[in-house]
Amino acid sequence: MKQHLIWIAAAVMMTSACGDGKPAYDASGNFEADEVIVSAQQNGEILSFPVNEGDKLNAGQVVGQIDVTIPALQQQQVQASIRALHDKTNNPQPQALLVERQLLVQEAQLQQLYRERKRTENLVKSDAATQKQLDDMNAQVDQLEKQLNVTRQQRNLYNANIATQNRSILAEQGPLEKSMAQYAEQVRKGQVVNPVTGVVLSRYALRGEMASVGKPLYKIADIDTLYLKAYVTGVTLPKIKLGQTVAVRIDQGNKGYKTYSGVLTWISDKSEFTPKTIQTKNERANLVYAIKVRVKNDGYLKIGMYGEMLIHQP
């Protein structure tokens, strides 16, 4: 990489000159792209990976699968544990069911006694029944009401116990859900998802190999837009600014140059000395500044291709 930068910087100082002694261009360098190295996010055997160099992939496209059998089984195990907890909370205790049935029976009996007492009261008023019969009926109602109150207290006690047990059971659900989310994330990361739209530049893995977290699988770049990284001297620096439209050209052999319109997107805030091993003693004191020019690619521009920048359109 260092040697590469040396040759680029040297090209700035060793430019060909026009007839009047002025440089034929203002900066020169090589085209590059925003390259993304896609790495594995899970450990395991690569089950499928149909990616080839030169393939054009879309962002979000699934391009491979890593074996995630172990985390998938662990996820299923946690799901079964959560279902078992819900079964415990949804099934009341047998004692509670018995008390609830007893309460329903006693309430029905009490309603029947209320009706019998009302009928007896009417009979007493018409001298068809004695006061003792009414007193006996009131005693039965009073006794059953007391029994009903006791049964209700038992039901409330069972319900309180059940609620306490359910809270204890459901308290275990939170950690289990977190574990399930972790295993689900591991399963999701078993899919190799392409992050950006672009063309595959290099492939580093094959189906059947073992992948590990962080292992590079392939390199991809969006080549629809390339950047000419070049170097300008301190003399040229005051003539350029960010967002400025400049001309970029490439050599077309006998046809001369092919020219593109570019936009200056980056200017380094640090200067660099020109390579001492190439330049003459007088030129060694010169400083250069790295710049980047964004150029829309029509298909003829390639990564690494040499290009020249002209501040003024030719």
Q: What is the mean pLDDT of the chain?
A: 83
> What pLDDT, on a 0 to 100 scale, did the predictor assign at position 214?
95
Query: Is residue 167 predicted with pLDDT exceeding 80?
Result: no
pLDDT reported for residue 96 = 67
Q: Is 194 exposed, middle or buried (0-12, 13-18, 19+ CB in 10 A)?
A: buried
Output phi, psi for 200, to 5 deg.
-70, 120
Residue that the structure tokens 């400025």 belong to? 244
13 has a pLDDT exceeding 50 = no
Measured CA to CA, the distance from residue 297 to residue 221 in angstroms comes to 13
State the pLDDT confidence band at 153, using cuts at 50, 70 and 90.
confident
Q: Which of the pair, 144 or 155, is modelled with greater confidence?
A: 144
Helix 131-171 with 173-188: angle, nearest 10 deg: 40
Per residue, the 3-state secondary structure of the chain, as one string, reads CHHHHHHHHHHHHCCCECCCCCECCCEEEEEECCEEEEECCCCEEEEECCCCCCCEECCCCEEEEECCHHHHHHHHHHHHHHHHHHHHHHCCCHHHHHHHHHHHHHHHHHHHHHHHHHHHHHHHHCCCCCHHHHHHHHHHHHHHHHHHHHHHHHHHHHHHHHHHHHHHHHHCHHHHHHHHHHHHHHHHCCEEECCCCEEEEEECCCCCCEECCCCEEEEEECCCEEEEEEEEECCCHHHCCCCCEEEEEEECHHHCEEEEEEEEEEEEEEEEECCCCCCCCCHHHCEEEEEEEEEECCCCCCCCCEEEEECCCC
Q: According to the model, what pLDDT value does residue 107 have?
A: 85
Q: Confidence class of residue 121 from pLDDT cuts 50, 70 and 90?
A: confident
CA distance 130 to 120: 9
How much is the pLDDT for 205? 96
Domain 41-67+189-212 has CATH 1.20.1250.20: no
CA–CA separation, 152 and 102 (whole Å): 10
Are residues 12 and 233 in contact, defined by beta-carbon separation less than 8 angstroms? yes
Q: Residue 84 above 50 pLDDT?
A: yes
pLDDT band per the 50, 70, 90 thresholds, residue 308: very high
Q: What is the CA radius of gyration of the chain?
A: 43
Residues 6+ apart with CB under 8 A from 245: 261, 262, 263, 264
What's the CA gap between 56 and 222, in Å, rounded?
Answer: 9
Q: pLDDT value at position 229? A: 93
As assigned by CATH, the class of the 2-33+223-310 domain is mainly beta
- In the chain, what percentage of residues exceed pLDDT 90? 47
Q: Are 42 and 189 in contact (CB under 8 A)?
A: yes
What pLDDT, on a 0 to 100 scale, did the predictor assign at position 109? 87
Residue scoring higher pLDDT (226 or 14): 226
- Residue 242 token pair: 């960010």
Over residues 26-83, the pLDDT tens digits come to 898 999 999 999 999 999 999 999 999 999 999 999 999 999 999 999 999 999 988 8
What is the model's pLDDT at position 278?
Answer: 39
Report how far residue 203's alpha carbon sits from residue 210's, in angstroms, rounded to the nearest whole number: 15
Mean pLDDT of 245-259: 90
Determine the Cα–Cα distance for residues 24 and 309; give it in Å rounded to an integer.
Answer: 10
